[in-house]
Amino acid sequence: MKYTSKQDAINKGLAKKKGVIYKKSLLEIWYAKDWLDLPNSKYSSEDRLNSGMKLAADYHIMNRENLHSSYTINTKVDGAKFTPGFHCANEAESRYLQAIQSIPSEFWPMVRKICIEENELQAPLSMSERQKTYFYYLCRIDLCRGLDRLADYYNQKLKLI
């Protein structure tokens, strides 16, 4: 067995919070690298992190709700009407669908890839180092702009309550 040093654990995204070790999401790793800062914006990097984490939480709740292994339509013995139990739209699903509608289509692929799919970006191999740097910069800007729209949506929800 190979010993894992503290720096190796940090590089892999492991963190200790309130005495519990957990794996950070890709958005949290980007936040730790200060890649969620956007100059001249009304939202801070913490606001972007929180809105991205809310979107991911709603997505995971919605997916967990849609998991099932049994036959869903059961006929009743007394012949009463079937009432769809978990097929009804729940709160997380409606929040998620409204949130993704608030993000423009040009920013949505970046938000989905980082917040939901948690896939690290890969620049094409044919690019030079300068082009790769610019590619990653544009991806970060698009992500921040998409997260700003999410923050607008979630803050609007708070004002209505």
**Per-residue model confidence as pLDDT tens digits over 52-72:** 999 999 998 888 766 655 555
pTM over 0.75: yes
Task: Write the single-letter amino acid at 98.
Answer: Q
| Full domain range(s) for residue 122 | 25-34+43-66+89-161
Residue range 124-133, pLDDT digits in tens: 999 999 999 9
Is 143 part of a structural domain of the chain? yes
- Classify residue 8: in a domain, yes or no: no
Q: Is 4 part of any domain?
A: no
In a domain, residue 105? The reply is yes
Task: Report the alpha-carbon distance of residue 112 to residue 43 in Å, rounded.
Answer: 20
**Residue 17: inside a domain:** no
- Our count of domains for the chain comes to 1
Residue 43's identity, in one-letter code, is Y
> Is residue 73 in some structural domain?
no
Does residue 94 form part of some domain?
Answer: yes
Phi, psi of 88 (to 5 degrees): -70, 145
